[in-house]
Amino acid sequence: MISGFRDFVFRLCMLGRGGVRTEEGSSLVELALTMPILILLVLGAAELGWVTYAAVEVANAARAGVSYGCQTSATAGDITGIQNTAAADAPDIALGTTTVTPSCICSNGNAAVGGCGSPTACPGSEIETILTVQTQATVTPLIRVPGLPTSLTLHGQAVQKVLQ
């Protein structure tokens, strides 16, 4: 009876040793199976970071352009200067269209009657010029994923009152 129990314990110990030997390469297999997923996650995070950086550049370019244009009435009319300032503020991306739109309102909050150039546009108040700068850029993702767009169009906009 004791020798039968001893044989049973011996067999259990031998099974344990054999089980350890069969698991020696399992961590390498697990690494090989999970590594492509981890690489895709890292590349996706880098791609998201690049697109976010480009979106910030486009928005900042619009702010730089409107800041230049709103210094005086003369710079508000310098469309080329506004566009060049916006492009200079985004050196890492190629800006597409930069649109500059001047508009006006009356200082009392009413709409200007007859346009911004009319001397009677704002009876009893002053005409205030508002400058709007819109920028856009198209970025192409570094990684092409089927089902996702091949390029993204990013937009930026800034609005500010022109100093008199």
- Res 86: pLDDT: 93
> Model confidence over 23-41: pLDDT tens digits?
677 888 888 889 999 998 9
Farthest-apart Cα atoms in the chain, separation = 118
Q: Where are the beta strands (DSSP E) in 58-151?
A: 95-106, 127-139
Determine if residue 148 is left, alpha or beta; phi over 0 gives left, psi from -120 to 50 gives alpha, anything else beta.
beta
Number of domains in the chain: 1
- Res 129: pLDDT: 86
**Residue 93: inside a domain, yes or no?**
yes
- Res 107: pLDDT: 82
**Residue 41: inside a domain, yes or no?**
yes
- Res 109: pLDDT: 76
pLDDT beneath 50, residues of the chain: 19-20
Of 81, 58, 89, 68, nearest to 131 by C-alpha is 68
- Res 19: pLDDT: 47
**Residue 46: inside a domain, yes or no?**
yes
**Residue 2: inside a domain, yes or no?**
no
> What's the CA gap between 47 and 151, in Å, rounded?
12
- Res 122: pLDDT: 79
Question: Domain range holding 107?
Answer: 31-161
